[in-house]
Each structure stands twice: as C-alpha cells, then as structure tokens.
C-alpha cells in the first residue's frame, strides 16, 4: 500500500507508522505505538545488562620484604576477589635499591601463585614493568570454587 494510505490508517487508530526494514523493496513498515515500543526495548536492554557480569581487575601490592602476616592477609583478599569472579593483578613494587632484589619479588609472586592455585590460574606470568613486577591471575572455571562470599555492604 502507499505511504499516504498507511499514514492515514495509523492516524485513524492513533498510532505511529514505523519503518522496520528500510532497505527492502518495497520498505517494510509497521503500525504501532512508538512510545510503547521504545519502553519495551529499554526494558529488554536493562534485563540484558542485569544478567551481564563485568569483570574488574583488583590490584594487590607487595614489596620484596613483605612480612608473612601481611602476605597472608593480602592473599586472603585476593582469594575473595577471585571467588567473586574478578581478576587479580599482583604487583611487587621495588623502591630505590630494592630493585636489586628482583629474585625475592619473583619468589613472592610464585608463593602467591601457589596459594591461589586451587581457584585461579595465571593469565600473565611475572614480568618487569619499570620498577614493578606484575602477574595477573584469573578465576579458573575448571576448578570449581566453593560458594563465593558475598561482599559486605554498608
């Protein structure tokens, strides 16, 4: 039917004429309430966004001479992050003359990897980036972790 007829029918019904497929020959149009259509479309997008999981990268910082208690405490936090589905970037920061102790930093990251090996895998091995040694850990889907802990909301 012609565009004028379609517009006339749409106006009589109090609805809008919406072009669905403009590239078709002839173009495909639909008579419907455009406001309602946009509302339903935004609802669908919100639902899709709600079911989507965004992965964050959480950073844990160490120094080559980090004490065992601090190491355990930071490892516990990294474990929580991984159980919540986030990536963990472990960084050993070398200040001043500490840069000569790169072997201690590597050993520290190896111990860290060993502690998280039951729930995570290494995405990026320990590498030097300036005065920092960085390794990235991601949750391992094959190693099913126990129930993820709920984050505290306050």
Number of domains in the chain: 2
- Rounded to whole angstroms, the Cα distance separating 4 from 98 reads 80
Mean pLDDT of 56-62: 91
- Rounded to whole angstroms, the Cα distance separating 70 from 66 reads 7
**Any domain includes 153:** no
- Rounded to whole angstroms, the Cα distance separating 14 from 36 reads 13
Which pTM was predicted? 0.60
**Any domain includes 150:** no
Q: What is the pLDDT of residues 78-109, one digit of tens each?
A: 999 999 888 999 999 999 998 898 899 999 99
Q: Is the pLDDT of residue 154 over 50?
A: no
**Beta carbons of 56 and 26 less than 8 angstroms apart:** no
Determine the 3-state secondary structure of 79 from DSSP: helix
Say which CATH number the domain at 26 has: 3.10.20.80
User: Comparing C-alpha atoms, which of 145, 94, 91 is closest to residue 116?
Assistant: 145
């Amino acid at each position: 039917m012609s565009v004028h007829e379609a517009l006339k029918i749409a106006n009589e019904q109090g609805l809008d004429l919406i072009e669905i497929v403009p590239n078709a020959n002839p173009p495909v149009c639909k008579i419907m309430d455009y406001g309602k259509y946009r509302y339903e479309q935004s609802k669908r997008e919100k639902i899709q966004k709600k079911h989507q999981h965004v992965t964050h990268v959480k950073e844990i910082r160490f120094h080559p001479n980090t004490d065992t208690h601090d190491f355990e405490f930071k490892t516990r936090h990294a474990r929580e992050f991984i159980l919540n589905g986030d990536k963990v970037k472990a960084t050993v920061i070398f200040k001043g003359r500490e840069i000569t102790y790169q072997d201690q930093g590597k050993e520290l990251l190896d111990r860290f990897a060993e502690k998280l090996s039951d729930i995570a895998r290494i995405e990026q091995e320990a590498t030097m980036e300036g005065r920092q040694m960085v390794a990235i850990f991601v949750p391992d889907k094959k190693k099913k972790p126990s129930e993820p802990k709920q984050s505290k909301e306050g």
